A and B are shown apart, each in its own frame.
Chain A
C-alpha cells in the first residue's frame, strides 16, 4: 500500500471529485501555481474554467463562490491563511450558511472552504497562526478537522459532496502526517461521525485535529498507569455526541485537548455537554490555548501558548486522581491515596469507570 501524505490526500480528494463531478471548481489565491500544493496539477488537468486564480479579495471570491453554488456549481475555496477566514466570515457565516433557512429551503450552498496549515506553523506569528474552527462550529457552519491522512481524504470528499457550506481545517501539525493508504479504497467519511482511535476504559481524551497524535503519544506514555481512550470527533459541527457518550459510558472520565483559545472554544462545549448529559465520575479537564491567545513570534513563546503533551499528561493524571494536584475529587479518595489518606506516588490502582 503506498505511503501517502496528508497534503496528497487533500489534493487527491479534490482531483477525484473534480473528475467525478464537472460542477466542482476551485477558487483561491495562487491555486493555479498551487502555492500550498493542495491544488497541485488541477489547473493543468482541468483548465482555467474550473481552477480560478482570484485577486486578493477574500470577501469577494467567497461571496462569488456562494453565487456560483446557488446557480448549480460546487465550488471549493482555498484560504492560504486561517486568519483570512475573519475577512470572509460575513460571507460564510451570515450569507452562505444562512441562506438555506432564510429562504425556506430554496437555497443550496454546496461550497467547501479548505484551510491548509491552520494553527501554528511556528515562526509565522500572530496573523498566520490562528485555529478558528470553534468560531465556525459556534455559528453552525459544518466544520471538519481531519487528523489523519485517510480522514483528510474521506472528510474532504464528504465536504465537497455535502449540500451545505463546510469548512475543512487541515491543521499544520497534521499536514506533516504520512500513512499507508490506498485512496481508491477509502469511503467518504460521513460528517458528524467520530472515531475511537485508541481504546481504553479509564479516561476518554477527546483530541481535535493534529492533537489526536499527541493524545496517542501521551496515552502510550501513560499506558502502564492509565488506560486511555482517544476519541477523535473528526467533525466539530455536527458533533458526534452519541459517540462521545458511548465512550464516557466506558470510562466516566474526560479530558479534552483543543487548539482553540480557552473561552468559548469547542473544548468548553464538549465538557459542558458531558457534564450536563453524560456519565462523568470525576471532574473533567481541558487543555487549550489560553484565553484570547495571540501566538507570539518567537518559537518558545509560540509553543508556550499551544496545548502541549506535558499539559495533557498532567491533566489525565489529575482526572484519574493520580495528579500532583490531588484532583479527582469525585472519587473515593481511598482508591487513589495511601491508606492514611496522604498522597502517594505509588500507584494503588485507578478504579475502572
Chain B
C-alpha cells in the first residue's frame, strides 16, 4: 500500500513537471483493495485492470521502475512506451493490462480464466473495475457467462462513490452486491479501506474459484482521495467538499494498517520504498524515448505491411 501511495505521489510530481504526458488517474485512497486482493493471488494468476490501474499492476508485482518508465512513455517501460498509464501490462506476471474502456475487460478476464481451466490449470483471474462499470451491459454479460460456465474469476468492484463526478447513488439502481447475487455469484461487501478485510474476503473468493466453485463478486467500499484524473488540478470540477474528503481520509487504509505493524518494521518498509522509488524515477528519466520510426511496431503479431499516412 505504501508503495502504491508513494508511487502515485511521485507520478503526480512527474505529471506536474511534464515528464508524464496525458496525466494519470490517481489510486490514492484505494490502495487496500489492490494490495489485499493481489496478496490472495499467485504470481501466475491473471488480472485485468482499469484506467485507475497503477495500484493493481504494482500489487501484482510489476517493477515500479518499468511501470514509471511506461507512464513516461519510454522504451524501458513495461509496454515499451506503447501503452502508458491506462494500458500497463506485464504478461509474465499475468497482468493482461489495464483497460481504458469502463467495464470492457470483464469478459476478457473471464475468457482468460476459462481458458486456463480448459488447459487443466488452477489459475484464476481477477477483474478490477469501479462502481461506474456496473451500469455497462458488457459487465453483466460477463457476469452471466462466468456464472453460467462456473469460471474461476473474482470480480472486484471498487466502489469509491463516484463515476468521475457522478455519485454512485445517482447512477446505480438497487445495489451493486445485489447485481452479483442476481447471477448466483458468491458476493461480499466489505470495508475496502481495511486491507485485512479485503484480504480475508479475497482469499475466500480465490479459494472458491480455485476449488471449482465458480465466480465471486467483491464490492469494496472505498473513497478516492485525489482527483478522478490529474486534469482536475486545473479544471477544478466541483462535485464534493473538502470536508467530505477529510472525513474519508480519517479512514485512510495506510495508517490503519501501519498501526498493526511494529514501528521499526513500518519504518524499514517506508525507507525501502523511498529508495526503490528514487531509483524508479531515475530509471524512467534515463530510459530513452522510443524512436518515432518505430511508431507502428507491434501493430500486428506478424510483419503485416502497413502503409504510411502519405504516399
Residues on A lying within 8 angstroms of B by beta carbon are 25, 49, 52, 54-55, 57, 59-73, 90-91, 94-95, 99-110, 140, 142, 162-164, 191-192, 238, 241, 273, 276-277
Contact = CB atoms under 8 A, between A and B. Distances in A.
Contacts of B83: 102-104
Contacts of A49: 118
A9 B296 CA distance: 35
13 contacts: A57-B145, A59-B137, A61-B107, A62-B107, A67-B112, A91-B138, A95-B104, A95-B108, A100-B299, A102-B87, A103-B79, A105-B301, A108-B301
A193 B29 CA distance: 54
Given A57-B144, A70-B96, A72-B119, A163 B81 contact: no
Contact of A102 (B97, B105, B305): B97
A237 B114 CA distance: 31
Interface of B: 46, 77-83, 87, 89-91, 96-97, 99, 101, 104-116, 118-119, 125, 137-138, 141-142, 144-145, 148-149, 296-302, 304-307, 311
Considering the complex of A and B, which 9 residue pairs feature the smallest CB-CB distances, nearest first?
Answer: A67-B111, A60-B141, A63-B107, A163-B301, A71-B115, A104-B80, A64-B111, A104-B79, A67-B112
Contacts of B299: 100-101, 140
Contacts of A60: 107, 138, 141-142, 144-145
Nearest to A65: B111
Contact of B110 (A64, A73, A95, A100): A64
A57 B145 CA distance: 9
A67 B114 contact: yes
A106 B79 contact: yes
Nearest to A272: B311
A172 B149 CA distance: 33
A233 B21 CA distance: 41
A73 B116 CA distance: 9
Contacts of A106: 79, 89-91
A167 B108 CA distance: 18
Contacts of A90: 101, 104, 138
B99 A95 contact: yes
B154 to A, nearest CB: 14
Contacts of A59: 107, 137-138, 141
Given A103-B97, A107-B97, A66 B108 contact: yes
Contacts of B125: 67
Nearest to B301: A163
A63 B298 contact: no
Given A59-B137, A64-B110, A238 B304 contact: yes
Contacts of A71: 46, 111-113, 115-116, 119
Given A73-B118, A106-B79, A140-B299, 14 more contacts: A49-B118, A60-B141, A63-B107, A67-B96, A68-B111, A69-B115, A71-B112, A90-B101, A90-B138, A100-B298, A101-B297, A102-B87, A104-B83, A164-B304
A105 B115 contact: no
Nearest to A238: B304
A64 to B, nearest CB: 4
A90 B138 CA distance: 10
A49 B141 CA distance: 20
B149 to A, nearest CB: 8
A63 B306 contact: no
B148 A103 contact: no
A142 B305 CA distance: 11
A105 B96 contact: no
B134 to A, nearest CB: 15
A192 B114 CA distance: 33
A54 B104 CA distance: 18
Given A63-B104, A102-B97, A54 B145 contact: yes
A95 B101 contact: yes
B296 to A, nearest CB: 8
B114 A64 contact: yes
Q: Which of A61, A73, A94, A102 has the most CB of B within 10 A?
A: A102
A71 B46 CA distance: 9
A102 B96 contact: no
A35 B270 CA distance: 61
B284 to A, nearest CB: 15
A66 B112 CA distance: 8
A163 B89 contact: no
Given A55-B144, A55-B148, A104-B81, A91 B305 contact: no
